[in-house]
Amino acid sequence: MAKIRLTAAQALVRAMAAQHTRIDGKTVPLFGGVFAIFGHGNVAGLGEALYQVRDKLPTYRAHNEQGMALAATAFAKASRRRRMMACTSSIGPGALNMVTAAAVAHVNRLPLLLLPGDVFASRRPDPVLQQIENFADGTVSANDCFRPVSRYFDRLTRPEQLVPAFQRAMQVLTDPADCGPVTLGFCQDVQAQAADYPEHLFEDKIWTPRRPPPDAGELTEAMQLLRAAKRPLIVCGGGVLYAEAEAALAAFMTAHGIPAGETQSGKSSLPASHVLNMGAIGVTGTQASNDLAEQADVILAVGTRLQDFTTGSQSLFAGAGHRIIGLNIQAFDAAKQGGAPLVADALAGLAALTAALGDWRAPAVWTETAKAGKRSWAEIAARYTVAGNAPLPSDAQVIGAVQRTSRPGDIVLNAAGGVPGELHKHWQTEDALGYHMEYGFSCMGYEIAGGLGVKMALPDRNVIVFVGDGSYMMLNSELATSVMLGKKLTVVVLDNRGYGCINRLQRATGSESFNNLLQDTLHEELPELDFVAHARSMGAIAEKVSGIADLEAALVRARDSKRSHVVVIDTDPMTITDAGGHWWDVAVPEVSVRPTVRAAHDRYLTATAARDGAG
């Protein structure tokens, strides 16, 4: 066996550069690049190695380790998991800053390769700068925090370990069922140590997605359940996009007359104009979707984790004797809520179901009921997105303004707060991947970093980032990275002076406004936050507008800008779309001196009893 002598770091990056995939008939690098913030745990080893392959595997410098890992996560999502990025940091705080992003990738089933520097394997200089010493376990380092949020975790304590570790890492990163973050804690002395590596580790390899078909028995059961259904409904999850199955799903719905509701991750799998696309489903869902969900007798859940916002904390599907069919490539998700599992790739599974169902169609009265509900919701929703006369616009009115100035192919992105619910209900897109929401982990701070990752994955599409003032304050540094890399974003900052979404939730559970809006905090003086000046200081174009008409004009200017353009608008922290939606299980204290909390607890008991009785 031919071998080549390299350091462990050199061998790793050379092997990464040899990985490829095929997209639209073209062979492209599997890794879009490496985000790196160098420190004493990785600059000498990985830093020098990355310099040697910079023409094949580009290195990007970010401004925050969490931000760069979130950008890498968004890159993978926008790439339908067909491409990914790696991130490397120093040991200690640099590494721990990436744990939150690892959790985002884990929840959303997205590939992300994390290469945090680690302590010395030899332990000779212990304790090194930034080393965490566990009094009871000498093998523990800060990187052990990645274990619960990694699909695969390894620590490289000898250079020879790289070969099996890298092979295992690649299997996990490219497996559609096990896909998620991989962490290789890279001891800093091992990075610089040499070994004789087999040349086959560096041979070009092309990865293509595995598409397992369904088991015959599971397919038969799913077919029989659907054929017997009087009120079938599809729940469309993010797995539809990951499997590139959106056209197959639309054809399946049309052929069999089955309406569908979209999860946050699944939104944009279907054109908004599809006559049987009921739009958002669940806690932040449309009335059209949720009315059908409450009556459905068979629910075909395609590529969804069935999290609580989708199921209304398992209270939404209330039809007597209803059954769930879980079409999912991961058996863990396919069998949720006692469902009949149909473990398969979404595209292969839909093809098999289509063949099995033949010319069967859902009852015409059910299909027509769905169409009527869609028309009714469109009339209701339109009233929330038009400009009003209130002193401050609502989030929905801001969304309406952005929608009116958008163009086909635009991508909107958001992550946390009240805006996800409003976007889920109101945003209309005809294009796959036109809606990018991180609502699995609901990670504040994802927005700007995520926008950067999406723009890197899809540079020809216009990326519009919605971000609240709270999320902007948490993580904004990758705005500077977007300017530095020439990845232009349009960022709409909705400033309601606090955490407006949680303030509303706080009040809905009977409490007074406390510690959420800035005015309700313990303070001596409230800061006058100037987001325009801050954005300009990072190299972006920025302006503040005073109303919806000014916002629309600013968005036109932003589209013509050559670098990232930030538009700030003050919004009402209390006004939301009160149509549609569904109950969400948020526990209310059993004991309180406040009558409003006791009343909220009584309502909570009524709601949980209804849910548990229906279940």
Q: What is the pLDDT of residues 223-276, one digit of tens each?
A: 999 999 999 999 999 999 999 999 999 999 999 999 999 999 999 999 999 999
Are the C-beta atoms of 288 and 583 separated by less than 8 Å? no
Return mean pLDDT, the chain.
97
Indicate the SS3 state at residue 508: helix
Shared domain check, 605 and 524: no
Shared domain check, 551 and 417: yes
Say if strands 112-118 and 152-156 run parallel, antiparallel, or are unpaired. unpaired
Shared domain check, 408 and 368: no
The closest of 374, 267, 264, 253 to 311, measured between CA atoms, is 264
User: Among 207, 234, 254, which residue terminates a domain?
Assistant: 207
For residue 583, is it within any domain? no
Predicted local confidence at residue 269, as pLDDT? 97
Please name every residue paired with 19 in a beta bridge, in sequence order, or none if there are none: 205
Shared domain check, 482 and 440: yes
Q: What is the pLDDT of residues 275-294, one digit of tens each?
A: 999 999 999 999 999 999 99
For residue 252, is it within any domain? yes
Shared domain check, 115 and 229: no
Q: How far apart are CA 590 and CA 584, in angstroms?
A: 17
Are the C-beta atoms of 31 and 16 separated by less than 8 Å? yes
| DSSP state at residue 94 | H
Predicted local confidence at residue 177, as pLDDT? 97
Shared domain check, 290 and 371: yes
- Rounded to 10 deg, the angle between the 364-385 and 395-405 helix axes is 100
Q: Which residues contact 583 (CB under 8 A, 6 or more apart)?
A: 283, 312, 313, 315, 607, 611
User: Among 377, 411, 438, which residue terminates a domain?
Assistant: 377
The closest of 500, 431, 429 to 467, measured between CA atoms, is 500
Predicted local confidence at residue 562, as pLDDT? 96
Indicate the SS3 state at residue 296: coil
Shared domain check, 606 and 519: no
| DSSP state at residue 498 | B
Q: How far apart are CA 126 and CA 136, in angstroms?
A: 15
Indicate the SS3 state at residue 235: strand
459 upstream amide cis, omega within 30 of 0: no
Shared domain check, 475 and 350: no
Whether residue 300 has pLDDT greater than 70: yes
Shared domain check, 428 and 309: no
pLDDT band, very low/low/confident/very high, at 1 (cuts 50, 70, 90): confident
Predicted local confidence at residue 525, as pLDDT? 95
As for how many domains the chain has, the answer is 4
Quickly count helices (H) and strands (E) in the chain: 24, 23
The closest of 370, 457, 443 to 84, measured between CA atoms, is 457
Please report, in angstroms and rounded to a whole number, the separation of the first and last CA atoms in the chain: 61
- Record the tokens describing residue 86, joined without a space: 């790696």
Q: What is the pLDDT of residues 54-92, one digit of tens each?
A: 999 999 999 999 999 999 999 999 999 999 999 999 999
For residue 310, is it within any domain? yes
| DSSP state at residue 145 | G
Predicted local confidence at residue 395, as pLDDT? 98
Please name every residue paired with 155 in a beta bridge, in sequence order, or none if there are none: 185
For residue 578, is it within any domain? no
pTM: 0.97
* Domain of residue 325, residue span: 216-377
Q: Which residues contact 515 (CB under 8 A, 6 or more apart)?
A: 521, 522
- Give one DSSP letter per residue of 334-362, joined into a string: HTGGG-EEEES-HHHHHHHHHHHHTT---
What SS3 string covers 384-429? Answer: HHCCCCCCCCCHHHHHHHHHHHCCCCCEEEECCCCHHHHHHHHCCC
Q: Give me the phi and psi of 22, to 5 degrees please.
A: -115, 125
Q: What is the pLDDT of residues 180-226, one digit of tens each?
A: 999 999 999 999 999 999 999 999 999 999 999 999 999 999 999 99
- To the nearest 10°, report the CA torsion of 90, 72, 243, 16: -50
For 51-70, give one letter per residue: b (16+ CB within 10 A) or e: eebeeebebbebbbbbbbbb
Indicate the SS3 state at residue 156: strand
- Rounded to 10 deg, the angle between the 65-78 and 99-107 helix axes is 20
pLDDT band, very low/low/confident/very high, at 325 (cuts 50, 70, 90): very high
Whether residue 614 has pLDDT greater than 90: no
Place of tokens 């600059």: 43
Distances (CA, A) of 233 to 31, 131, 202, 565: 38, 53, 48, 41
CA atoms within 13 A on the CB side of 481: 28
Q: Give me the phi and psi of 7, to 5 degrees please.
A: -75, 160
Say if strands 232-236 and 194-198 run parallel, antiparallel, or are unpaired. unpaired
For residue 72, is it within any domain? yes
Shared domain check, 278 and 347: yes
Shared domain check, 431 and 344: no
pLDDT band, very low/low/confident/very high, at 613 (cuts 50, 70, 90): confident
Q: What is the pLDDT of residues 536-573, one digit of tens each?
A: 999 999 999 999 999 999 999 999 999 999 999 999 99
User: Among 207, 239, 258, which residue terminates a domain?
Assistant: 207
What percent of the chain has a predicted confidence (pLDDT) above 70? 100
CATH of the domain at 496: 3.40.50.970
Q: How far apart are CA 58 and CA 34, in angstroms?
A: 6
Shared domain check, 70 and 195: yes
For residue 164, is it within any domain? yes
Distances (CA, A) of 275 to 261, 288, 346, 404: 12, 12, 22, 21
For residue 576, is it within any domain? no
Predicted local confidence at residue 615, as pLDDT? 53
For residue 264, is it within any domain? yes
- Record the tokens describing residue 189, joined without a space: 């002395």
Q: How far apart are CA 277 and CA 261, in angstroms?
A: 6
Q: What is the pLDDT of residues 384-438, one digit of tens each?
A: 999 988 999 999 999 999 999 999 999 999 999 999 999 999 999 999 999 999 9
- 407: how many CB neighbours lie within 10 A of its CB? 8
Q: What is the pLDDT of residues 106-161, one digit of tens each?
A: 999 999 999 999 999 999 999 999 999 999 999 999 999 999 999 999 999 999 99
Distances (CA, A) of 189 to 41, 125, 143, 156, 194: 9, 11, 16, 10, 10
